[in-house]
Structure 1
């Protein structure tokens, strides 16, 4: 179940983001010429601090009308993560997966599969706690343990320096001190612009209606989904068809190159 921490809307401040927009050719490496595809990549570089997602903060990524970013939380979790990956692969779509460290430790092969299919591996703590209920040191230890587990599964090295400095707080629950700590490490903190409420006891059809209703209002945004949820895995093919049929374009996120230089990635 998701819960918004009451103070998050007050924690946003000035942020500097350097974004390189790189076009992606859908046909390149995609077996289906009529697939939804990934339209472009945003290489995100945090300067000072960066917190994105209008549900939680005052700013978000600079997306054009009908551009969406797909993000998934709480994985990896068989068999649902594999089903989500299959739906994305069929449409040649890339997304960002915010992984729970203990699940990464349990299913390291699935972490590597996510990355091998071109998706971005980001971080979502070790044990998915309500962070504001923990002492600061314990909360940051949980964050770092999660990063280390994700990095071990992905690269075979246990390090608290994330290769992709993207983090989303479980339940969007944080404190000013935690946000400031991640800011000092130049870790991008993600909220969301809209979500499907897939943590609720609903069916795939209702979940689809939830996200479509919000998209009809926002017409763009960072979308929060959960690959650990069976209802989301079941919904994904229909949701991707909806995006395609209604002219939406997929924007994929990657970290900018180190040293403040924009990533010059080609596809």
Structure 2
């Protein structure tokens, strides 16, 4: 296994038709950083089909040892002007939210990620950057923002003085921008999860690109502030071309290590036991949950208590730079937000009159 260090800092839809989940083979996960899986490997982890579970709106490696080169005496040269020492790298300083709980689990450390070239994280698909130490976890939540449930998750995280990473759906962000702003205000990292949670591996390239870009624009616009260049593929389904596209856009792809499977485990106590069992088996990892499910929101406080009781440490991930959205997709989202105008509408006074 290859391990590389990551720079650390001390500071911190909607259709109603059900779609079946299709098992994915390793060909969906091509690319320089993707895992090449043997034919006998277990099926890829997926998050399930969102459309079947969507609430209705309104309701590291050692280097090879090289042969030693012969020792050669260095020529004596006169030193004229010494080169100036390189300037220290500039880091983004982020103020940590105030913690009023002295017994809180808290964030053990915060890592800063340089997304240049679109690195991938999460050992189920990417193994170039295994930055977590034994006993460390990263908490991630997909498919929000959503009323009631997202605020419940935020409250549980706040009680334990934790920061997590959220991957909102663009369309959801346009429905509930006030909830997304709560996520931002609480100091969490916000990436994106496409415009409408489509399986990008089954889409024509341009449609897939549109889903990615429109989603990023929508989340950033509704957040009212630049977001992180972090992205997660719906159902973890990618292609070599899409991975290359994210690399071109300098957007990091986040996969997972532990799937809570909260798309099918709907009992909070069972959900907690299952997730902790998976974590114990792996020893560390990026945990996937969904903040639009009520049972997940109910399970989070106990899950955090179990993490603390079992000595796990939470790592918060931040991006070195912010995401630069594309103007044409910003315009698409802005146009979609405008009310539909009727070409044959009568004057309001002819339609609506006060009679009492």
The interval holding the TM-score normalised by the smaller chain is 0.7 to 0.9
Larger RCO (alpha carbons 8 Å, 6+ apart): 1
TM normalised by structure 2 equals 0.65
Deviation by residue 1:16-66 (Cα, 9 ceiling, x = unmatched): xxxx999x999x711110011111111000233311111122344411111
- Structure ranking higher in helix proportion: 1
Q: Give the aligned partner of residue 263 of structure 1.
A: none
Answering whether residue 154 of structure 2 is matched by residue 85 of structure 1, we say yes
| Aligned mate of 1:254, from 297, 303, 318 | 318
Q: Distance in 2 between matches of 1:179 and 1:5?
A: 16
Which residue among 135, 150, 162 is the counterpart of 2:204? 135
Write the distance in 1 (CA, Å) between the matches of 2:307 and 2:248: 37
Give the distance between the partners of 2:175 and 2:321, measured in 1 at CA: 30
| Residue number in structure 1 paired with 2:352 | none
Following the alignment from structure 2 to structure 1, what is the Cα–Cα distance between the partners of residues 215 and 306? 34
Deviation at 1:201, TM superposition (A): 4.4
Q: Extract unaligned runs of 5+ from structure 2.
A: 1-19, 35-89, 323-356
In structure 1, the residue matched to 2:220 is 151
Mapped to 2, the partners of 1:127 and 1:93 lie a distance apart of 28
Please identify the structure whose Cα radius of gyration is greater.
Answer: 2
Q: Give the superposition deviation at 1:5.
A: 3.3
CA shift, 1:71, in A, is 0.4
CA RMSD of aligned residues (A): 2.6
In 1, Cα distance between the equivalents of 2:254 and 2:174? 23
Q: Give 1:1-267 correspondences, 5 Å limit.
A: 5-6=24-25, 7-13=27-33, 29-155=98-224, 163-257=227-321
Secondary structure of the residue aligned to 1:123 is: coil
- Unpaired stretches in structure 1, ≥5 consecutive residues: 15-19, 157-161, 259-267
Alignment coverage as a number of residue pairs = 248
Contact kept? 2:117, 2:248, Cα under 8 Å:
yes
User: Per the alignment, do residues 81 and 252 of structure 1 end up closer, same or farther by CA in structure 2, a change over 3 Å counting?
Assistant: same
Instruction: Please identify which structure carries the higher strand content.
Output: 1
